[in-house]
Structure 1
Amino acid sequence: MEDFQFRPSFVQLSALSSFNGEVRLPGSKSITNRVFLIAALAKGAIRLHNLLKSDDTRYMGEALQKLGIKIEFSEDFSEAVVEGNGGPFTVPGKSEIFLGNAGTAMRSLTAALTLGAGEFYLRGEERMSERPIRDLVDALRMLGADIEYEETEGYPPVCIKANGLNGGDVEVRGNISSQYLTALLICAPYCKKPLHIHVVGELISAPYIELTLDVMKAFGVDVRHEGLTDFYVPQGIYVSPSEYSVEGDASSASYPLAAAAIAKGKVRVLGVGSKSCQGDVAFAEVLRKMGATVTIGPDWIECDGTQGELHAVDLNLNDIPDAAMTVAVLALFADGPMTIDGIASWRVKETDRISAMSAELRKVGAEVRESNDSITITPPVKLQPATIETYNDHRMAMCFSLVALGGVPIKIMDPACVNKTYPHFFEDFNRLSK
């Protein structure tokens, strides 16, 4: 798989005032990585369409290949044929797997690798060693897994000595990361007996769990659940359908849609719509609440920002924390202060996003107050040109590019961090802002 080697130190965006046109979204990172792993565990071969080519999906694909899974990619990576393992991974000796800063891959593989046989050492970039994994490891240990922390208690890297999972009853907290629950769900069919997962406390990012259940169902495993609190997963095996097409990335859709609202333009994004299984399509409703005109088709969303000003509205965005970052930049263009809450998970993402977002919003002139799970943004009377640090966080780069549409030049540092989910972001952004 191709690596992304070229990393320019910055990109300079000139003062912009228009944004119009049509863009086809890259494939969903969340779906691509879920489908990769489940197809690898499944019986049979599958052809995957509209895959996302990005850093995160590359790490997952390379990890699976190292585990013995045969994956044949098309030349442009948009398609792949995956030969399923027909069950858990068994690898003699010790395997070392590097996962960059791909949180979904780290959490889901930690769970999946306990099912088979072998010794697995999972590590990532420096930031990965600051992203908690304790709640997942505690749950897996309750099910009989042998997992040790290699450096700091509660954080990667981890060493797994695989010998299967017992099944039965297990609890996991839901208020840190939905990825813990996703990891348990994906591995559950291969436990030694049916698994009942009880979620303790509030479940954040619930639509991502619905997404996991949707992909599992496509591979023949139907999970019964009660109010997204108790999940009952039968024993069984995944069976690959002959083909699966990955939806466009709904989180990535937020940037061109928001750009149209800011620049009073009109943009249609292709690849997600009313039939989407991704929670971030709810960003369209946020735009409506703020005053933009949004139309949704089966596989497209259109934002018409020509109608007037953006209104300040207070929002709980617990269900769409990734798109919530785009809303924070939209708040710069609203007619008053806005509070976004329900975003405690920002603290444990690619960077501490509440602190990072606050610091960079202040650079462009906003007044910002933050708490553990909220941010309040008072827009500036006049936006200020700024150099934006991105903290090796793809969403920081994409969000703050939108500020240039307010008519001020913006320098984005380390723009290649967008390779994590949307490698061609700046090409699309420049084309639509002409």
Structure 2
Amino acid sequence: MDILLNVLADKKINEKITISGSKSESNRLLILQKLFPEISIENLSDSDDSVHMQHALSTKNELVDIGHAGTAMRFLTSYFAVNKGRETVLTGSERMQNRPIEILVNALKDLGAEISYEAKEGYPPIRIKGAKIIKDKVQINGNVSSQYISSLLLIASKLENGLEIELIGKITSIPYINMTLSLLTQLGIENKFEANFIKVYPKTATQKQAVVVESDWSSASYFYSIISLSEIGSEIQLTAYKKESLQGDSCLAEIYKHFGVLTTFGENFITLKKVKESNKETLEIDLKNAPDIAQTITVTCFAENIACNLTGLHTLKIKETDRLVALNDELTKLGASISVTNESLHLESSNKINKNIAIKTYNDHRMAMAFAPLALRVPIKVLNAEVVTKSYQKFWDDMKQIGINITDYQR
């Protein structure tokens, strides 16, 4: 599905949008629910990734295909490794088969798991023979994807002796590690995180309880971008959010002050309001704790004629696509002066935006959604726009609600 986005008439935005539960929280809780059936989950994410996760956890087939769902690949690797007596071949899309899994596999094998590669060494598909794991100590680099670490933490309490993880070197994406630990605490699973050591104690059962998933802050980022590009006085109310969030991307509330957006917290919702013009000074941010919002911020800066230097982006190289290269290529087509390294992005200010450019999405949901707000500046085409369902099923419906006109585009 290829689409053309434009705004037919400038208007002050005033809308209410409901966003489904956080994909990050939902996928963690789906694993925990399988390990502790006493819990129930409310406001579960309706994303493709969470649908894939639910299917993978319910199927009895040996072959489990999780498509593009990177979180599912990482979390399920550990889950199936401790599912004693079951043999599973875990695979995914062509891109997934080129996303590394070796660091996690090596950590699990150090603990005694039985995992082998079906094709390319270090990459899915992988064959997992579920086994009882006795060892309770493992080392893993702290600067790798936090999903590797969370994957181990999610199954830790079901190991006979619990698990102690030593994180080697500098630790990145700490908010996502803390999210996992906070969910464990909520379920009554004792844990501690001191210096470079994380300890999770064994737990056989937990109390019956319902866990409510907070809405996804990554999804909120696109509305922050829209409000930043809107008239002063425009506002959008988003549900369901809380001030004390487990999600690292909640730093949006602070970051978007640079763009004149004020965030007000209500009872289970936030209101984003454009209160002043954007600050035109260069935006300098280390996003090591929230790399998923880098695309949105970069596009916002480009649309607002603001230079930016973003660092801490090394994990973007192994996402659905190499997001740094993809941003460089698509923004260059739009007229940007941009450069990227393996872990940073540098954008110069520019008041030129080319119209009617077709944005390639590279099977990456965030490419489609991050560029959508540009429609408030110029008509823009988005190729393979259906990729948004990976994390946000009704994204295009919500774009229409706030006034973006969407029509089919024939290549």
- Counterpart secondary structure, 1:263: coil
Q: Deviations over 1:268-321 (max 9, x none)?
A: 212113032211111111001343333233532222224113433111111111
User: How far, CA to CA, are the matches of 1:121 and 1:193 in structure 2?
Assistant: 27
Could you tell me which of 102, 118, 124 is aligned with 2:86? 118
* 1:256 alignment partner in structure 2: 223
> How much has 1:213 moved relative to structure 2?
1.0
Q: Structure 2 stretches of 5 or more lacking a match?
A: 405-411
TM-score, length-scaled by structure 2: 0.93
307-316 or 318-327: bigger deviation: 307-316
For the 8 Å contact 1:368–1:378, the answer to whether it is kept is yes
TM-score normalised according to structure 1 size: 0.88
Alpha-carbon RMSD = 1.6
Give the letter aligned to residue 342 of structure 1: G
* Partner residue, 1:147: 115
Q: Which one of the candidate residues 28, 31, 36 is aligned to 2:25? A: 31
Q: Which residue, out of 183, 199, 213, partners 1:246?
A: 213
| Separation in structure 2 between the aligned mates of residue 297 and residue 320 of structure 1, nearest angstrom | 23
Selected match of 1:363 from 313, 321, 333: 333
Aligned to 1:314, what secondary structure does the other structure show? strand
Query: Which residue in 2 is equivalent to 1:387?
Result: 358
| 1:33-432 → structure 2 map (5 Å cutoff) | 33-44=27-38, 46-67=39-60, 95-115=62-82, 116-227=84-195, 229-239=196-206, 241-264=208-231, 265-311=234-280, 312-385=282-355, 386-406=357-377, 408-432=378-402
CA distance in 2, matches of 1:248, 1:32: 10
| Distance in structure 2 (CA, Å) of the matches to 1:47 and 1:140 | 28
Deviates more, 1:176-185 or 1:330-339: 330-339
| Contact persistence 1:275–1:299 (CA under 8 A) | no
List per-residue Cα deviations over 1:354-402 (Å, max 9, x = no partner).
Answer: 0001111111111101111011112332211210000011000000001
Q: Alpha-carbon deviation of 1:61?
A: 0.5
**Structure 2 CA distance, aligned partners of 1:203 and 1:324?**
19
Q: Does 1:12 align with 2:8?
A: no
**Is the 8 Å Cα contact of residues 206 and 319 (structure 1) preserved in structure 2?**
yes
Letter in 1 for 2:2: F
Q: Deviations over 1:55-90 (max 9, x none)?
A: 1111111111114xxxxxxxxxxxxxxxxxxxxxxx
Q: After superposition, what is the alpha-carbon deviation per residue over 1:339-367, rounded to whole angstroms, capped at 9, x for unaligned?
A: 11101100001110000011111111111
**Structure 2 Cα separation of the partners of residues 186 and 167 of structure 1:** 16
Kept after mapping to 2: 8 A contact 1:120/1:161: yes
The aligned counterpart of 2:409 is: none
Given that 1:290 and 1:313 are in contact with CA atoms closer than 8 Å, whether structure 2 keeps it comes out as: no
Tell me which amino acid in the other structure corresponds to 2:50: T
Structure 2 Cα separation of the partners of residues 411 and 55 of structure 1: 23
Compute the displacement of 1:413 (Å): 0.7
Distance, in Å, in 2 between the alignment partners of 1:192 and 1:242 is 24
Identity %, equivalent residues: 35
Which SS does the other structure have where 1:236 is aligned? coil
For the 8 Å contact 1:310–1:335, the answer to whether it is kept is no
Indicate if the aligned counterparts of 2:320 and 2:364 stay in contact, CA closer than 8 A.
Answer: yes
- TM superposition shift of 1:43: 4.3
Are 1:167 and 1:188, in contact at CA under 8 Å, matched by a contact in 2?
no
User: How far is the alpha carbon of 1:20 from its aligned partner?
Assistant: 3.3
Q: Please, which moves more after superposition, 234-243 or 351-360?
A: 234-243
What is the identity, as a one-letter code, of the residue corresponding to 1:425?
Answer: F
Aligned to 1:6: none
Gaps of 5+ in 1: 1-8, 68-93
- SS of alignment partner, residue 87 of structure 2: strand
Larger deviation, residues 314-323 vs 10-19: 10-19
The answer to whether the 8 Å contact 2:33/2:40 transfers is: no
Secondary structure of the residue that 1:190 maps to in structure 2?
coil
